[in-house]
Structure 1
Amino acid sequence: MTAPSNGRGPGATIPPTPKGLILPQVGAGSAVPPGILAPQLGAPDIEGVAPRPPSLAELVETSGLRRVHVLAWRDLDDPESGGSELHADKVAERWAQAGIDVSLRTAMAPGHPESVRRHGYTVVRKAGRYSVFPRTALSGALGRTGPWDGLVEIWNGMPFFSPVWARCPRVVFLHHVHAEMWRMVLSPKLAKVGETVEFKVAPPLYRRTRILTLSQSSRHEIIELLGLPPRNISVVPPGIDPAFTPAGERSPHPLVLAVGRLVPVKRFDVLIDGLLRAHDEHPTMEAVIVGDGYERPELEKKIRAAGAGAWLRLVGRVDDDELLSLYRRAWVLTSASAREGWGMTITEAAACGTPSVATRIAGHTDAVVDGETGVLVEDPADLGKTLAGVLSDDDLRGRLSAGALAHAATFTWAETARATFAALVREAARQRGPASPAARAANVIGQRR
């Protein structure tokens, strides 16, 4: 990955891309032609001093880490699965392809079996949506699972408290701080419990743990809000499926697309207000919202009350081909979300040449380069006005589309899987000592950085 993040905190000003900068494609068969990087970046012979990082296959071969256990609240079959579950699946799939025995333990998914093989790894579902946390911790403490060479905990609001009971090398993936999300989805008493765990109970226990997150802006929030040491927090951006590419024709009339779970944190009620405002200026505009969730009945009621059913559609979940077609046909992707670790639908759309108009929040400030790949809105109430402006300006959309394509080209799931495993290798080296295979693999990582 050539540019994993912009390295700036939320709200920072991002300088324009230098004129004439050639952005190399990332992937198989896309080596950078000799001499391109040096003239652009002003560093003579830069190609000669930037060795290739060790591949995932090389790390697996040399590290001795063969069995890895992943802890997650939900998996892809859960009706409320989203970006976190997709991320876990993509990483686990590539680890399995590299020869790692990967198992993912999670809560039961309604209508699905207790155990299933998916994309080369094993999913084990035990306990309910909330009891999965104490039951998993108890099983781990009693040694009922394993032994494992490494552990990945996905801290999605409520942690599994792996620092208390796990003995093997481990890393924790924390996509974002939940903060006000607790009060959006739980009763006041339960929300208070969630906030207490996230802000008071968990941070002291995780202070010595390697934390991985998706974006520099999310890293900034983890440091500021949870008080975790900056030295222990690393950024590993998500990838983009290579199927997401530009093709075909845009819709002949303005088409605005939104994709996500219909839950409070995504603020689809605010988004609908913005779409109504944009439609006032663009009466031929069509809007499609992809996704499902328990807020759907209320959102449908809101659309009916506004008399917008003819042009604003909630289509539920769609298959991959339909989603790809919508990304390619849309003029703009939009999001009013209040909390994101990244905003993977933004970069999926970008890979299809579709720019975004989104709220300026942690995660979005890395997924969108404001003014170059899309537009970030400070006040969600201004979303509709900004959407209308982007829809009206063909030249602006063309520039944003080109920028979105270039930005998206720097993210691959192969690199996400490799960098996540490299972090686990370093933790294994630290725990097992300098004579271990993991330490030798970690030395290779250090030499090629």
Structure 2
Amino acid sequence: MHILFCNWRDTRNPEGGGSEVYVEKMAAGLIDRGHRVTIACARHAGAPDDEVVDGIRFVRCGSKLDIYLTTAARLLLRRYGRVDLVVDVQNGLPFFTRLVTRRRVVVLVHHVHREQWPVVYPGLTGRVGWWIESFVAPRLYSRSRYVTVSEASQYELTELGVDRERITVVHNGNSPAPRVTVKRSASPRLCVLGRLVPHKQVEHAIDALVAVRRRYPDAELDIVGSGWWDEELRAYARAAGVSNAVIFHGFVDDVRKHELLAHAWVMVLPSLKEGWGLVVGEAGAHRTPTVAYSTAGGTTESIDHKESGVLVDDHAALIASVCELIADDPWRTLLGEGALAKSHSFSWASSQEQFAHVLET
């Protein structure tokens, strides 16, 4: 089959994250099974409009604001050639592919954005976005099969009216960590990995650093990733009096990312919502445990509470748990071993097989 993924970004995009990794891993698995795959996504600096990477064709057009309509129009006009199946990746908004093709459409949802709309788009824009996601999309794709990455997201989709029997859960996998020579930092070091956007709530990690530094004044925080909330976070660190202890690394390559994860004592994942939390497994590969919010959804499956990391209910508990882990070496070591074991329990090969089975049947 020729399979078209409609996704707003790709992994080379500076704003790309775990959901883009998932899409491209699934695409690679389909290539290995003999299918043709095209990924339609938004343009960004430094990437050509049309290229083939590892057998996957990337077609980039439009911006992150008009990518949805642009992609739908190109599909209607058959600009991608003959397409046998469409994977409509719904990151809040669908691509409305059901309106422009008679081919089968599978909807891929990482998580439901109920809590994020008012944070990222306050006012009318956010309300319209949530109406499209919660009311329009479930009805538009009422005959389509869904794939999501966690049981938490599956449950939220059923709350929106998607029939449970049409939803298949295909978890994220974990890639073997590249070999790095970096050792654990001699002084306390926290790490945050992800896009710099409001709903990732990186400010909470900065708050945790402030608390840790009361006892360990040499503690530092590595912020890995880029995004449009960068300047606001820098201002927040300055206002908190820790700008000299917060290092903004921006977008880094895979090896550097794993060096920073191996260097850290604790990874903080203060995100408002996560479909899974791919970074949890990446940190776990270096025996670095994660503290995250239990209310984020997928984190309750990517983290085994008090076995491979810690799940907390609120901001105060997150700060307290980070401080406790930093101060308690045996507890942190125990969770680190659990995080390593947990990271080995999910593989991309298994996820690719499950995903391909959904599309092929």
TM superposition score normalised by structure 1: 0.76
Q: In the TM superposition, what is the alpha-carbon distance from 1:306 to its structure 2 partner?
A: 2.4
* Bigger RCO (CA 8 Å, 6+ sep): 1
- Counterpart secondary structure, 2:87: strand
Contact 2:180 2:255 in 1 (8 A): no
Which residue, out of 375, 392, 401, partners 2:336?
401
- Counterpart secondary structure, 2:306: coil
Contact 1:270 1:381 in 2 (8 A): no
Q: Output one character per residue of 1:245-271: Cα deviation in whole Å (capped at 9) or x when no partner.
A: 787632112211110111001011222
Q: In the TM superposition, what is the alpha-carbon distance from 1:282 to its structure 2 partner?
A: 2.5
TM superposition score normalised by structure 2: 0.94
Matched, 1:240 2:174: yes
Task: State the distance in 2 between where 1:351 and 1:208 align.
Answer: 39
**Runs of 4+ residues over 4 Å off in structure 1:** 244-248
User: What residue in structure 2 maps to residue 217 of structure 1?
Assistant: 152
- Counterpart secondary structure, 1:397: helix
Q: Which structure carries more strand by proportion?
A: 2
Task: State the distance in 2 between where 1:399 and 1:93 align.
Answer: 35
Task: State the distance in 2 between where 1:352 and 1:292 align.
Answer: 23
Residues 114 and 135 of structure 1: is their aligned pair in 2 closer, same or farther, counting only changes over 3 Å?
same
Contact 1:246 1:353 in 2 (8 A): no
Which residue, out of 227, 231, 234, partners 1:300?
234
Which residue, out of 127, 135, 142, partners 1:192?
127
Contact 2:75 2:101 in 1 (8 A): yes
Aligned CA RMSD, in angstroms, stands at 1.9
Q: In the TM superposition, what is the alpha-carbon distance from 1:106 to its structure 2 partner?
A: 1.4
Q: Output one character per residue of 1:83-134: Cα deviation in whole Å (capped at 9) or x when no partner.
A: 1112112222333244321111112223432112222211111223232212
User: What residue in structure 1 maps to residue 31 of structure 2?
Assistant: 96
Task: State the distance in 2 between where 1:246 and 1:380 align.
Answer: 33
Task: State the distance in 1 between where 2:184 and 2:65 align.
Answer: 44
Contact 1:221 1:362 in 2 (8 A): no
Matched, 1:416 2:351: yes
Residues 323 and 144 of structure 1: is their aligned pair in 2 closer, same or farther, counting only changes over 3 Å?
closer
Q: Which has the larger radius of gyration?
A: 1
User: What residue in structure 1 maps to residue 243 of structure 2?
Assistant: 309
User: What residue in structure 1 maps to residue 137 of structure 2?
Assistant: 202
User: What is the aligned-residue identity percentage?
Assistant: 36
Task: Structure 2 unaligned segments of length 5 or more: list them.
Answer: none
Task: State the distance in 1 between where 2:179 and 2:271 align.
Answer: 25
Task: State the distance in 1 between where 2:347 and 2:179 align.
Answer: 13
Task: State the distance in 1 between where 2:81 and 2:345 align.
Answer: 36
Q: Could you tell me which amino acid in structure 1 is paired with residue 212 of structure 2?
A: A
Task: State the distance in 1 between where 2:350 and 2:253 align.
Answer: 25
Task: State the distance in 2 between where 1:352 and 1:144 align.
Answer: 44
User: What residue in structure 1 maps to residue 286 of structure 2?
Assistant: 352
Matched, 1:343 2:277: yes
Alignment of 1:46-445 (within 5 A): 66-224=1-159, 226-243=160-177, 249-360=183-294, 361-426=296-361
Task: State the distance in 1 between where 2:224 and 2:216 align.
Answer: 21
Q: Could you tell me which amino acid in structure 2 is paired with residue 287 of structure 1?
A: L
Contact 1:278 1:385 in 2 (8 A): no
Q: In the TM superposition, what is the alpha-carbon distance from 1:145 to its structure 2 partner?
A: 3.3
- Counterpart secondary structure, 1:310: helix
Q: In the TM superposition, what is the alpha-carbon distance from 1:279 to its structure 2 partner?
A: 2.0
Task: Structure 1 unaligned segments of length 5 or more: list them.
Answer: 1-65, 427-449
Task: State the distance in 1 between where 2:77 and 2:50 align.
Answer: 21
